[in-house]
Amino acid sequence: MQISSGLTAGCAGLVNPKLPFQIQKYNRSTPRDYNVIQLVSKRPSQLKYIELPSFHNTQKTASLTLLLVALLIVALASVDSSLCYQLACVRPHNKQ
């Protein structure tokens, strides 16, 4: 369903005529992103209080993620191999 402004009916309530155009296009994104944009536009001095994770913590998280993905790949490959073996054992062989 189209509204005259070209927005879909689900997004019509998100347009705020009091906001500048540059911020309105971000208003249609997720509410979390919009809240960050509001924080930066209204209180730029608050940016110094935002804490980012250290490089060491980021490296530990990335290493743990890679390890878990590798273990998942090995587990899935093992299950696939065992199912293929069981299928080969159950399936009759055609000897010609």
Domain boundaries, the chain: 9-48, 51-96
Q: Report if pTM > 0.85.
A: no
Mapping DSSP to helix (H, G, I), strand (E, B) and coil, where does residue 43 land?
coil
36-84, pLDDT tens digit by residue? 777 777 777 777 787 888 999 999 999 999 999 999 999 999 999 999 9
Lowest mean pLDDT among 3-12, 27-36, 72-81: 3-12
Closest CA to 83 of 92, 72, 91: 91
Amino acid at 73: I
